[in-house]
Amino acid sequence: MAYIEFIEQLHRGTKRDYMSRVLAGNKAEFAAIAKRFDIDYWDGSRNTGYGGYKYDGRWLDVAKRMASHYKLKAGDRILDIGCGKGFLLYEFTRVVPGIEISGLDISSYAIEHAMDAVKPYLTVGNATTLPYPDKSFDLVLSINTLHNLQLPELETALKEIERVGRLSKYILMDGYRNEQEKVNLLYWQLTCECFFTPREWEWLLEKTGYAGDFACIYFD
């Protein structure tokens, strides 16, 4: 298991006003709405989610770096758990022609509004019960998704990732390294159920038998 950063540059490219989300209204209500993972989360107000999640090519560089690191090639199979509208999977098809993609997301809205190029390969489902045979994928990834699960479901999801992956795995979760990052995370997050320090995440991953790579998103 290795700590590998692929998303840092993309994450830092988004400006966040932490206090504005707290002061804009009833944050508890915003969070309850966001956790429906419906139109309000993806394409509604910034207070309840992305404020409009549209394709803009920002995931292309991430796909390039991951494809290079994991030596992906035509015929390899990728699963993206928490794929949203399929933007990252689409970029993988551009970077590695002939790659086989699958995506799963709990949001039926996201799947319905996915990119036409990848929509046939996406499924509505839960990370705790992956509808795929054992050792089906050369790379299983999950970006900013698993921290939305409570601990019992998180443990199950990690074991499911190990079950369906035959080679590489990569997950990215919310985390913090100091009190300021913890406060910023609490101010900003809407759907997060589990957030830990990198040391705690690593301990949990080892305890659940996860053997892939991981990294954390920090709100500094």
Tens digits of residue pLDDT in 166-182: 999 999 999 999 999 99
* Per-residue pLDDT at 20 exceeds 90: no
- Rounded Cα distance between 170 and 118, Å, is 21
* Per-residue pLDDT at 10 exceeds 90: no
- Rounded Cα distance between 184 and 190, Å, is 12
Cβ 136 vs Cβ 77: under 8 Å: yes
Element (H, E) at 77: strand 77-81
* pLDDT 10s digits, 71-82: 999 999 999 999
Q: What Rg value do the Cα atoms of the chain yield, rounded?
A: 17
Q: Which among 106, 102, 85 has a CA at the least distance from the CA of 165?
A: 102
* Per-residue pLDDT at 50 exceeds 90: yes
Q: How far is CA 125 from CA 81, 84, 171, 206, 210, in A?
A: 9, 11, 18, 25, 21
Element (H, E) at 167: strand 165-174
Q: Which domains can be identified in the chain, with CATH numbers?
A: 8-217 (3.40.50.150)
CB atoms within 10 A of CB 44: 17
Using 50, 70 and 90 to split pLDDT, how confident is the model at 16? Answer: confident
